Amino acid sequence: MPRCVSTVRDRCLELERIIAARARSGSLGLDDALKLFDELLIHARPASVVAFNQILNAVSQSELVVSLFNRMVRECSIKVAPNTCTYSILIGCLCRMGRLKHSFATFGLILKTGWRVNDIVINQLLKGLCDGKRVGEAMDVLLQRMPELGCTPDTVSYSILLKGFCNENRAEEALELLRMMANDHGRSCPPNVVTYTTVIDGLCKAQLFDRAEGVFQQMIDNGVKPNNDTYNCLIHGYLSIGKWKEVVQMLEKMSARGLKPDCYTYGSLLNYLCKNGRCREARFFF
């Protein structure tokens, strides 16, 4: 093997090791990611797609993902082809940017290649639709398109839809979807603590406390243990309408389950007490 070819290959392997190590440790910052990306473009080999994906994932909260993806395709397509993971990262970024049209176009590219889609990819589209106040379309994707594509919705899929319904103040539809999950015993995604807490939070924000308490009791009856987030939603909700007695009951229930108030719990309590001139009690909690 000519020395120059060997040197290029060795540098490529070294870059891939550096990127993998930095990605695992969570220390791949934006500036370093961009520098490593530039150099990897020069030395890349077909297997470098994994390293490219790690870089794209590291900067996935930035709109730079789109430009980096375009550079990868334009300057490196002969040596490196994007895979399902690459497109998944791109779809997630486009959804966060609110560019749903481009997200679905990218999804179409995945289908066109014949690759099998998974729930991770589709869940990003569901979240994008719900964030765009298009929860009805997200429901169609969940119940119709996912089964057609051989992709079974998971608990995350349903939780995204539930949050979408709650954000649009469509409590009845959220409760119906929750009942669908709980009653279909053949389904592989029963409601979990995140699912129940999402609905409880939405009901509390809509000040439907009787419904929220009903869902709270339902989760306990179904053997799902509430966590701090669950209690915090109820406590914050009760505080918003001045139901101090119910707040005390929730704190007692937390203690009975071996849970301790966290910073969010105390913050809500202090905020309520100080605004209502109960500074002595506030100092106690502080």
Whether residues 44 and 103 share a domain: the answer is: yes
Domain membership flag for residue 207? no
Whether residues 133 and 84 share a domain: the answer is: no
Whether residues 30 and 110 share a domain: the answer is: yes
DSSP per-residue letters across 197-236: HHHHHHHHHTT-HHHHHHHHHHHHHTTPPP-HHHHHHHHH
pLDDT, tens digit, 9 for 90 and up, residues 159-194: 999 999 999 989 889 999 998 887 765 556 788 999
Domain membership flag for residue 45? yes
Whether residues 108 and 41 share a domain: the answer is: yes
Whether residue 53 is predicted with pLDDT greater than 80 in this model: the reply is yes
- Name the residue type at position 182: A
What lies within 8 Å, CB to CB, of 154 at 6+ separation is 119, 123, 188, 189
Q: Residues 60-64: what's their mean pLDDT? A: 87
Whether residues 33 and 59 share a domain: the answer is: yes
pLDDT at 188: 65
Whether residue 3 is predicted with pLDDT greater than 60 in this model: the reply is no
HSE toward the beta carbon, residue 13, CA cutoff 13 A: 6
> Confidence band (pLDDT; 50, 70, 90) for 138?
very high
The total of structural domains in the chain comes to 2
pLDDT at 256: 92
Instruction: Please report where in the chains the tokens 């919705």 appear, as a residue.
Output: 153
Instruction: Please report where in the chains the tokens 């390293």 appear, as a residue.
Output: 51
pLDDT at 258: 92
- As a whole number of angstroms, the distance between CA 105 and CA 102 comes to 5
Domain membership flag for residue 75? yes
pLDDT at 2: 47
Whether residues 86 and 132 share a domain: the answer is: no
Whether residue 143 is predicted with pLDDT greater than 90 in this model: the reply is no
Count of Cβ atoms closer than 10 Å to residue 279 Cβ: 12
Whether residues 58 and 130 share a domain: the answer is: no
Domain membership flag for residue 4? no
> Considering the chain, what is the average pLDDT of its residues?
89
Which of 198, 230, 245 marks a domain boundary? 198
> Confidence band (pLDDT; 50, 70, 90) for 271?
very high
pLDDT, tens digit, 9 for 90 and up, residues 214-261: 999 999 998 999 999 999 999 999 999 999 999 999 999 999 999 999
Whether residue 55 is predicted with pLDDT greater than 50 in this model: the reply is yes
- Helix%, strand%, coil% for the chain, nearest 5: 75, 0, 25
Whether residue 274 is predicted with pLDDT greater than 80 in this model: the reply is yes
- Could you list the residue range(s) of the whole structural domain that residue 72 is in? 25-115
Whether residues 137 and 183 share a domain: the answer is: yes
Domain membership flag for residue 128? yes
Whether residues 111 and 184 share a domain: the answer is: no
Which of 89, 115, 141 marks a domain boundary? 115
- Put simply, whether the predicted model's pTM sits higher than 0.75 gets the answer yes
Which of 182, 198, 214 marks a domain boundary? 198
Whether residues 106 and 133 share a domain: the answer is: no
Domain membership flag for residue 101? yes
Domain membership flag for residue 54? yes
Cα angle, residue 58 at apex, residues 55 and 61 outer, rounded to 5°: 125
Whether residues 89 and 161 share a domain: the answer is: no
HSE toward the beta carbon, residue 148, CA cutoff 13 A: 8
Domain membership flag for residue 281? no
Taking each continuous run of H as one helix and of E as one strand, the counts in the chain are 17, 0
Q: Report whether 72 contacts 59 (CB < 8 A).
A: no
Continuous H helices in 98-243: 100-113, 119-131, 135-140, 146-148, 155-167, 171-183, 193-205, 209-221, 228-240
Cα angle, residue 240 at apex, residues 235 and 245 outer, rounded to 5°: 55
Whether residues 144 and 100 share a domain: the answer is: no
